[in-house]
């Protein structure tokens, strides 16, 4: 009988990747809608741009978190040293991207409050 754990992990990895894609697509759509609602208003053009960036930033951060989880799960099934090295590089890059996104979101929040 085949071990069901790798199959289950495979399905969970796919689910994490789908959730990441869904979060990013929804964020892009939400950012686009926010931007389009106020683009023609000269008074709110900068605010709508900032609001759309914040909406997309939150979604991208969530999507990156799901992708990090998927990468970790993929590696836990039968890791080799090469897989572990690739995972470390992927996590480092995605963590740096996530950190920079969160800094941009915080900066955007502080600008929009003033």
SS3 content of the chain, % helix, strand, coil (to 5): 90, 0, 10
Q: Using CA atoms of 46, 65, 20, 90 in order, give the dihedral in degrees to the nearest 10.
A: 110
Total structural domains in the chain?
1
The token pair at 83 is 């897989």
**Is pLDDT of 4 > 90?**
no
Segment 13-39 mean pLDDT = 90
Look at residues 91, 98, 96, 60 and name the one whose alpha carbon lies nearest to residue 76: 91
Check: CB of residue 55 under 8 Å from CB of residue 36. Answer: no
The predicted pLDDT at position 19 comes to 96
Q: Which domain holds residue 66?
A: 4-113
Confidence band of 30 (pLDDT split at 50, 70, 90): very high
**Is pLDDT of 29 > 90?**
yes
**Is pLDDT of 39 > 60?**
yes
Higher pLDDT, 70 or 114: 70
């Amino acid at each position: 009988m085949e071990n069901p754990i790798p199959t289950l992990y495979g399905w969970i990895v796919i689910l994490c990747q789908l959730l990441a894609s869904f979060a990013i697509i929804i964020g892009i759509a939400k950012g686009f809608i926010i931007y389009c609602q106020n683009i023609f208003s000269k008074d709110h053009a900068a605010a709508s741009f900032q609001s759309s960036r914040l909406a997309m930033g939150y979604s991208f951060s969530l999507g990156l978190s799901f992708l990090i989880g998927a990468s970790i799960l993929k590696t836990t099934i039968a890791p080799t040293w090469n897989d572990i090295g690739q995972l470390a590089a992927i996590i480092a890059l995605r963590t740096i991207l996530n950190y920079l996104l969160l800094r941009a979101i915080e900066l955007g929040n502080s600008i929009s409050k003033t």
